[in-house]
């Protein structure tokens, strides 16, 4: 009796996945999505690239559903226009470039990480961490990363602030709030709520720029500080959006203790993180 074999599609998809990612990463790094519509020939001349190789990259992006070819010209699909152009308010380019330049190389050393139980920053880049100090070496790198976080936050923060009824709170303090997307979403959802965005001094100008575009801008303040060392602003609800996973257990305990000691009676802490299933088998990719 012939035995049917399991569907190999999940394995085949995983084999191809790094090629798909790098196809996206390379086009993003070259700034291609910002230059379309254009022909492969004009793009190759503008970017000083090999015409045949560039055309293959563009066709690869079309195969991934990011571009389409009309005649000789390549155009962004709507998803690329919204999420892959630097001038889009929903752009994810910053996080894509961070993934390409920092995360992708480090994941190439996953086997060593498993052997040693340590991070791969020094092995990959030959310089000591912490990771944010390295990626923030220039103002352009810092803004690119922060705006990437903004793009992710614009997608998720409105749902986060609606997950619980925050109407009883008066002042939300968003610790490590980057562009303030969480505080902005909260204050727009709850008209009586005031917000404070706390982040490093270098980040605050970007936060003020984003806050200024919100209809709730008059209720949101941006404050420079380090949540491990600075006095935490007064509030009755504190928020940590995608913060805790960046630090070791000692640092996490220190930060949570500082928040606990600052909270008034009846205060709360809002933590936004990706949670594992109870058996730690997922979520798979989302």
pLDDT in tens, 132-172: 666 677 787 788 788 888 888 888 999 999 999 999 999 99
> Which tokens sit at 31?
């700034």
Percent of the chain with pLDDT over 90: 74
Whether 286 has a pLDDT exceeding 60, the answer reads: no
Task: Indicate which residue of 109, 150, 181, 245 is catalytic.
Answer: 245
Whether 280 has a pLDDT exceeding 80, the answer reads: yes
DSSP string, 184-195: HHHHHH-TT-EE
| Among 3-17, 94-108, 123-137, the least confident range | 123-137
Whether 186 has a pLDDT exceeding 60, the answer reads: yes
Give the model's pLDDT for residue 181.
Answer: 95
- Domains belonging to the chain, first-starting first, are 12-83 (1.10.10.10), 162-272 (3.40.50.150)
**CA dist., res. 195 & res. 216, Å (int):** 9
Give the model's pLDDT for residue 147.
Answer: 83
Distances (CA, A) of 64 to 25, 80, 195: 12, 11, 40
**CA dist., res. 116 & res. 168, Å (int):** 47
CB 173 within 8 A of CB 194: no
pLDDT in tens, 6-64: 999 999 999 999 999 999 999 999 999 999 999 999 999 999 999 999 999 999 999 99
Please indicate whether residue 245 is annotated as part of the active site. Answer: yes
Whether 285 has a pLDDT exceeding 60, the answer reads: no
What is the dihedral angle through the alpha carbons of 242, 206, 187, 169, rounded to the nearest 10 degrees?
A: 60
CB 214 within 8 A of CB 153: no
Give the model's pLDDT for residue 209.
Answer: 95
């Amino acid at each position: 009796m012939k035995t049917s074999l399991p569907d190999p599609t999940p394995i085949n998809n995983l084999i191809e996945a790094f090629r798909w990612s790098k196809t996206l990463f390379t086009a993003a790094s070259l700034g291609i999505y910002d230059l379309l519509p254009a022909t492969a020939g004009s793009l190759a001349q503008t970017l000083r690239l090999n015409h045949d190789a560039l055309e293959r990259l563009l066709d690869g992006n079309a195969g991934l559903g990011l571009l389409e070819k009309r005649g000789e010209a390549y155009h962004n699909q709507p998803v690329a226009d919204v999420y892959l152009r630097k001038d889009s308010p929903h752009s994810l380019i910053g996080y894509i470039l961070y993934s390409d330049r920092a995360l992708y190389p480090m994941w190439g050393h996953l086997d060593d990480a498993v052997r040693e139980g340590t991070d791969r920053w020094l092995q990959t880049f030959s310089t000591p961490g912490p990771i944010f100090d390295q990626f923030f070496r220039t103002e352009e790198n810092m803004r690119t990363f922060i705006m990437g976080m903004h793009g992710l936050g614009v997608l998720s923060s409105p749902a986060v602030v609606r997950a619980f009824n925050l109407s009883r709170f008066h002042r939300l303090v968003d610790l490590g709030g980057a562009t303030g997307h969480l505080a902005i979403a909260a204050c727009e959802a709850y008209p009586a709520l005031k917000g404070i965005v706390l982040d490093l001094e270098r980040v605050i100008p970007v936060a003020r720029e984003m806050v200024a575009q919100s209809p709730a801008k008059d209720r949101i303040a941006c404050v420079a500080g380090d949540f491990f060392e600075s006095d935490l602003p007064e509030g009755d609800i504190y928020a940590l959006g995608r913060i805790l996973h960046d630090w070791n257990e000692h640092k996490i305990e220190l930060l949570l203790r500082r928040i606990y000691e600052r909270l008034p009676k009846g205060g709360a802490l809002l933590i936004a993180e990706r949670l594992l299933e109870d058996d730690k088998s997922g979520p798979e990719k989302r």
